Every structure is written in structure tokens, then in C-alpha cells.
Structure 1
């Protein structure tokens, strides 16, 4: 989603604003801009497209102000043009905005009735015009913003700069994250800590409904009622501030290859490798007393939850319902008092997932957040937080966050089964040993990359691709299809292999690649029968399996990708890597923007 930065500096800030925006590119954007105070007067520079376009404009018309705000915009209201790019500037106010102002049409009509003229198609300009009107009516900037904020409906983060106010920036958040960075005689603002990495490691996070008056000496933070509150500043771990592709061509490739390391880190956090047990933090509720689990998430995180559904039902013998957060939040789902709701989100700021969490809490449910950002809103509002410890994920298409979500959920499922007496001590030891092998198995899986790169030459010519799987490999088939769609723009669909005869088989012909995810397991023979149905219709099979599966699948395949043999419990984590590499190499061959695919954003903080 859009990115916000702000700096009250000692020297010219334009270059640092652009550098901070560059660190937020992973959120997705289609235009960018900065505004600074030039001898007390607001000046703005904006450009359509990538940050390099803004950089070129700043070279031609440099800005020298010591106070500034910047923005990368992902279009919601109005086309992605320079006219609609942020910051939006009135005679007295410059503003940048993440989110959606839901009642902007009524507010705009009110302003237009008073003679206001609008220069853009955005909802954001309404906010600047409202604050400007309050200043004209005699309020100072702080009072003007305080008067306008209650009138805004929706989820947003805002940053303001004011004509003639070189030592003032105002920020506000409702639904979209903002972090304040503290320096020596300087202050910083960003959508997340990554943006502030080059400037400070001391960060305070605004809570829901907060707004802050920022000067070079510090920040006065108010809650939604206007009362002054303290939000403690904290040291941000250095790893959070590292944004570097290393030796890789794309962030996505780097993050795919980081998975053996980060998943080891995640398991190291949740497993006692000496005792071969799961060691979760103290729980605020008794898992032995729950009778149902609800899992809700969006996108790739939803598929992690769908895989976990199999684990909880098998290891803990608990009924589980997994639902898309954007549906869950509006369906009036009845939730019993003895159930728990697990919400999964990489950013911890996903709007629909956050709303689902709040709904579950209103229903009296205990809530567990599986997130990659432990300081996020979802993490702060859940009863229990299980961080995934994947580190910053810059590529829009989730890779290492997905497998770390799986690792975390697997640990929770095993622990739940143990607490409920479904799993014995020996069962726990066996499952933990299997999880301990995952980093090594992932390293082996990555060795398939050259083979997959060659395969991608064929896939890049396809118009449609089908993914099939059974059991936990069914959600992985959904994830594989999503990955290919996201970054290569090839139409792909994932199906449960048993559903083939119920519709999808009509699509099969000699031009259709069919990716079958089928390690040798108790339902392998069933999947083989589905492959035979595909082969009989000329479909081009790409079989992802182990050596035993490859030997026993007497079906002609265009390609067999052979992974090491492993317990069925951990196959989704390991088999995710070749699935990711298929999408990655295909997209690279097609020349798409792998890290920032069109129309997509990393963190979806609006509906």
C-alpha cells in the first residue's frame, strides 16, 4: 500500500525523503512525490511512475528545504497520474495520505458549495482543503487538524506540513500504520520502521486513533479523544532496517533463498531442540478447554491457514473453519465462547484481517495473531502473538513469510495436540524431529532452481496453467496458482485433484500445463489416477514429487521435479520452494516486474 515519510531535518531533506521512499517501494506504488518548505513556502515535486522519474525531476528543480514529507501512491481514487500524485498542496497545507476517506464525496460537495476548487480526483485533497479552511477561519495548524480528524470516515494515515511552519509536522493514524523516529535535533515519520532505517533506530508506533504534533525536539502524541499520551520509543532490531538484494537479481529471489535460514530461526524460537518439544510462550487461555478453531486471513496467508486446518484437525482433533477475512468479517459468523480465532498476516496491518480480529474479540473469542511484524496493530490487539520471524519481506509476492507462517502454525498445532492429550510424548518428539529437518530439506529443494529455470521456458508460453494437489498439497496448489498469476500474469487455477472430474477436466488439452504436487503419501495413488486422466487428454504434466513417487507414477510427464523424501507433515513447507521458483523463473523470462507486480501492493491496509 502507499508509503508515507516525513523529516524535520538539519539540512536539505529532499534526497533523504526519496531514499526513505525507496525503502518503501515493496509496498507497491504507481506515482511518488515530495513537498518541502522553501524559505517558509510550500513547494512540491511529483511524478507518475517509479521513483527514478521523481529523482530526475528533482535534479531539474531541486528542493533545499529542511522540512518535508513524501509519498508513494497506490491508486484508489483517480488514475495513477502526476495530477493525482501526493503530496496535495493548498495555499497553507501539504498533505500525504494512506488509506481511503469513505465520506470524501460529501465533504467535497460541502467544500465546493463554499467555492473550493479541486485540482485532483483523489479523496486526499479533501483533507487538505478541510484543514486549509479551518486555518482561514482562524485556527492554528494543530487546532485545524484536530477539528478535521473527527469528520473523516475510513482507514487512513496522514502527514501534514504547513506554510510558514518550518518546525512543525502533524501525523495521524486510523487503521493504517505510522511510526515516529527520534534523532538528535531531527525527527522522522514513516509508514514503517524500514523507511527510517538510514536515520534512526529509536522508534515509537502510533496506536489506533492517535495523532501527533512533531517538532525537532520531539513529539506530543494525542489519543483519539485528544488527551496527551505516551507511546514508548523502542530500539528497532538492526535486521529490521536491512533492505538489500545482496547477490540476487530480485528481492523475491533473495527471499526464496533465505528460507532455510529464516525457518530455522522460526523453529529455533518455538522448539526445544534438546528435548524435542514445542515450547510456546505462556498462553492467556487453556488450549485443553477449546472446542473449535476459526482461522482467517487473506491471500497467501489464507493458504497457510488452510494447510494448518489439516494439522489442527489431525494432531489436536479439533474442528477448524478457515475463511477469507473479507468474508468472515461481514458474515455474522456465530463464534462460541470456547473457541479461539487465529488471524494470519505478514504485515500485521491487513485491513480485513484486523477487522476480523476485532469481530472475534467482540464475540468473546480468544485471539491468536500469527504475524511477521510484532509491533503491528494486529499483534498489539490480539490476546496472544506468535511472531513468524521471517525478517523484512520486500517482494510483494510472499515467499519466506508464507513458509514461516507454516512453521509457526505447525508448532502451535503440535503443542495443541499435546496439551489436549491427542499426541503422546513420542509423537511430539517425532514431529519435532521432522520439523528440525526442514532447513536442510529446503536447501536441497533449492538445488532444483536450474531445472525449473529451463522448465519456465515452456511455461512462459502458456496462456493457462492448472495446479492440482490433495490434502495439504491442495492449499499449496492454490498458492502455486496465485504466485504464477501474481508475478507472471499467466492465468492459473488451483484445484483439489479429486475435483478434476467435476469441471476442470474440461479445460485439459495438449496446450495445458498441469502442475501436480504429489509427494508419495497415503493418498498418492488417488492423485496418480487424476494424473492419468490428465495424460489421457494430452495435458502436459509437471510432477513435483519425491523419488518413490517418481518411480511409481507410471504416467508420461513433461517434467518431474524430484525432492528428498520427508514426513508428510513438513511437505508443504519444503514443496513451497519449487512452487515459488516455478512462478519466479517464469516471470523473469516474461520480463515482468517480479518484485512489484502491476496493480498489487504488499500490505493491503484498505478494503
Structure 2
């Protein structure tokens, strides 16, 4: 969580910092701030609220060619002006922005206060500028002071700091993402590439233990002992326009409507004469796999459930596990266990910790992620990219669809290698139907009645989503999306579990959305009818010819296709339902309360 932007180069940094913060606001919007340095002091401007609130407080743009900025998702202390970043030392000579959690801040704060340092906030971050100031006094050198400060910290951090009288930015990372943007006339640092994508697509992904010093015409990258480090410069293949809203009112709506393109990119080049082909994984790459553990959080966990079911159907023992619980529930892991980290950002703290645990226990690791150069991609043995392009809306949409397709292809690729596996009998039909998926999503987007249905059900007390097989994970995802952005109570269940307790919640004021895939739907039909007999309005979400459509009160239609992909089409309908309900309720759709896009702290 939290977004960092920093810039050094010719010209005023302020406009770049503000635009970077706007591009990063999906990472946190409790408060925002900037600090610039122009040789006559470090000027800090910050406030609670979002970036537009910050801009409204600036009577004039502060000048300076070196600056840092931050948009906050609160962990220590409420979202107040005082707790907003940047934070400074007592004299205001050192300003710091920080993403992460400092575990030993209580101890450090007590020690620094005993030495005369005065604190103004409740945050853990504020110890960092005071530490730098303390070590500047003892070393007489800012770079050494920064090294000593970060070496003193326990926990996770991405840090950027500026100092009065110095045309430099000092930055370091451990456990939180930080990427360096490279341009001919200026340098950037940010938590995520979209912050500066309009200026450069040349990037260096920093790794844990890296420390970088940026100056107007150069950068130096070292480890914490000062030894030079060489990191490759990568080119990001995202179009800067993909990081904007374009003609849409919200990022979420744009990203829902960009799914046909995202899915085409996900599929491209990965099916060859009826076989699944991942370029960096030669035939036989998975021949020694005996079991698969998929670890993920939130929406990515629902995609992992989808992938796990496909693997089990192919005769490969597979389990989707919540990453936050992995250490205690994973069970045996050995060299024949494939641990798959499913993470959009590649920086999700719980997922990274889970895959590290799996590796430490002897497992082979693989990342399914959207971000080239992310921590997950670097730390696992192999990586497969979902190719969804940048996703800014906090509520994941297109990345879920691309994750599911990538995991579905991976399941068939593994099944082709494992000697005792049993690839699906209709594998050819499944892969043939996949080629039509982008077009089918386009049909859903063009014909959906979700907006009308959202209005008709808006006054409901709660919303229930059910599904069986592939429909179960879609029901869970539909409920998650609905509660994330509408703030209304929504629950997802396996169809057969409805009568084992949840049916007590069903009334005429709780519409039930039944996800139908055209395969293994009998439990969904019978339980939906039972809920309807108790007064619940039933909405069938599936193909037009599904038997449930004849008895349902309403229908969200999806094109006829293979059952594996029907669930994804149903999910698009539920994404639209959530979006339009939230819009009618006037919710902040792209910035739901208490949530951030990339959860980089445990």
C-alpha cells in the first residue's frame, strides 16, 4: 500500500510529483503530500484527503528540481494532516516518504526522544528522518547516514529522502516495491510504473538491500555496504494511455471494457496446434510435479480456486490456499511440489511470504503475475505473465479474467508433462472455445442488462451469490466485488452449502444470483429454486438455454461456450452489476474506503 513518487532533473519537480501521485492514488488515498528542495530549504505541503485536496491547498506551485511525494494508506495512526507524508526531522532539513511497516519504531522513537528529537505524528515513518538526522550529526555524510538509518530499521520499507542543500534523492527498499525510471533529462522513483509511464518506459527494478542515489545527471546503485550493483534496464511494454481513464467515468469501467483486449494478449502465442505453449517452459518442464499448491489473496485466490479445480480434473493433486494461512495449513512440501504464487502486482506481502516458505521447505516455485520485474517474478524459479496491462481500479476485474485463463492454460500444460495425468477429454474443444472468449466478452459488454438489474435490486437488504464447480469461485468473486465497491452486504457460497445454514439469511429482500456454467449445475438449480420458494428473487447468470432461466425472476445472459469459459463470462456480468449498483449509490468506485490496490504489508 501507499504510493511513492520522486523526481530529480531539470525544471520544476512539482507538476511531475502531483501527476505521479494522481497515477498512484489506487495505492492509498487517506492523505497526500509533497516535499521539494531548491537550495533554500525543504518545502513540505501535505494534508489528509486525496491528491485533489492537496492540490487545492497549494496557492502556488512550490519550485525545486528535486522532490518526493506520497499518497497514504494508513497503518500507524489515523488519516490526519499530521500523519500525512512526507515526514521531517525536528529542524525540517530531512524529508522522507515511506511505504511499509517499521517493526521496531517504538524502541527507536523512545531512543530518539531521549536524544532531544521532537515528534509530530503517530506514524512509524517519522523515526526515519530523525534517524538520518542523528547519523548525519555523527558521520558528517548524508549517504552514510542513510545507510546506517536503513540498517537500523526492522520490518519492511521503500524509502525516498531529500535533504536541504543537496540536489539528490536517497532511496532504499526492503520488502516493499520501488522502481527507478530512467530518462535522458530526469530520473524517477516510484512504487509502481504507472506513476511515471507518461515520461519514460525504461525502468530498473530495485531489489531488497539496494540503495540508490539520484542526481540531476546520474544515479548510483549500491548495496547497504556501499558496493556497486549493476541492475538491468528493462522496457515496459505498457502504453501510457492504458494507465488513464480515457473516455470512461471510472478506471473500473474502463478495465471491465478492456477485457477483450487483455484476454487476447493473454492468449496470444500460447496455443500451438492444439497444444499449450509457454515460451520459456520447454516440453517436460513439469514432468516431476506430483502436487500443486496455489497461494494467493483476495481476487487472486478466487482465480487460484479456478486453476486448482482444472488441475484436479486433470488428475493432479492441487489445492488453492490463502497465502496468509499458508505456513500453518500447507502440509507436506518437497521437491515434487509446485508452489504457484498467483498475484496481480507480484508484490503482495502475504503471497510473497507464502511462496518463500514453500521454497524454504523444498518446493519448486512459479509466479503467475502481471508485472515483469516484480518481486514475485524475480524470487520464484519461473514466472508466467498474464499480460493484462496496467490495472488502476482497486477492485480487480481484467486481471482476474487473465489470471483464470493463464491458470487454465497452465493446468493443461502441466497435465501434458506429468506421466500419470489425465488431460481433459474435451481439451481440444476447450482450447478452441478459448479463441472465441474475447469476442464473447465483447458480446456480454454490448448486451448486458446489469445496469437495469442493479437499479431493480438496489433497495435489497443483502445479496447472495451461489455457484457450483467453476461457478463457486465466480460466486465468491462476484460477492467480493459487490461488497468492495457498493459497501452493501453480499455473500458467496457453494450452491450445495446454501441449505446448511446460509438459507436462514434468505428473504424476499435478498436476491440470489445463481452462476450457471452449463456443466455441473444441478445443485445450483435446485438450491436456487428452494431459495425462491422462500421468497428470494432469483437471477440466473448463464447461457440462455439453461433450465434455471425458465424459473428465474431475471436473467443475465452469456453466450454459449465451453463450461470452463462460461464462468468467466458470468463474472463479467457480475462485475457490471457491482459497478452500476455502486454508481447508483454514489460510491467512490475506484477508491473504496479502507482498501488499496497492492497490499504490500502483512
The bucket for the TM-score relative to the shorter chain is over 0.9
Task: Say if 2:374 is the partner of 1:379.
Answer: no
| Matching residue of 1:399 | 397
Number of the residue aligned with 1:539: 536
3-state SS of paired residue (1:40): coil
CA contact (8 A) 1:193 1:241 kept: no
Instruction: Provide Cα deviations, 1:39-78, integer angstroms capped at 9, x if missing partner.
Output: 33111011211111111222x1431111111111111111
2:588 matches 1:593 = yes
Summarize the Cα distance change of 1:426–1:538 in structure 2 as closer, same or farther, 3 Å threshold.
Answer: closer
Match for residue 125 of structure 2? 124
Deviation at residue 136 of structure 1 after TM alignment: 2.1
Whether the 8 Å CA contact 2:37–2:164 is kept in 1: the answer is yes
Correspondence 1:568 to 2:563? yes
CA distance in 2, matches of 1:288, 1:320: 15
Matched, 1:94 2:95: yes
Equivalent residues in 2 for 1:489-568, closer than 5 Å: 489-521=487-519, 523-549=520-546, 551=547, 553-555=549-551, 557-568=552-563
Conserved in 2, the CA contact under 8 Å of 1:418 and 1:425? no
Q: 1:228-261: CA deviations, max 9, x gaps?
A: 1111222222426742212211111111111111
Aligned to 2:349: 351
Q: What is the distance in 1 between the residues matched to 2:377 and 2:271?
A: 21
Distance 1:18 1:189 in 2: 14
Q: SS at 2:221's partner residue?
A: strand
Distance (Å, rounded) in 1 between the aligned partners of 2:436 and 2:87: 53
Q: Secondary structure at the match of 1:228?
A: coil
SS of 1:447 mapped into structure 2: helix
Matches within 5 A, 1:226-305: 226-239=226-239, 242-272=242-272, 275-283=273-281, 286-305=285-304
Shift of 1:224: 4.1
Structure 2 unaligned runs (5+)? Answer: none
SS in 1 for 2:10: coil
Partner secondary structure for residue 137 of structure 1:
helix
Please state whether the residue corresponding to 1:368 is helix, strand or coil.
strand
Query: RMSD across aligned C-alpha pairs, in angstroms?
Result: 1.7
Q: More displaced, 204-213 or 190-199?
A: 190-199
Deviations 1:539-565, CA, capped at 9 Å, x for gaps:
11111121221x45553x331112222
Match of 2:146 in 1: 145
Cα distance between partner residues in 1 of 2:429 and 2:60: 65
- Contact 2:258 / 2:398 at 8 angstroms: preserved in 1? yes
Contact map agreement 1:13 1:66 (CA 8 A) in 2: yes
Q: Does 1:201 align with 2:196?
A: no
SS at match of 1:560: strand
Q: Output the CA distance in 2 between the equivalents of 1:242 and 1:440.
A: 20
1-structure distance, mates of 2:340, 2:124: 34
TM-score in terms of structure 1 length: 0.95
Cα gap change, 1:552/1:460 in structure 2, threshold over 3 Å: closer, same or farther? closer
Aligned-pair CA distance for 1:186: 2.4
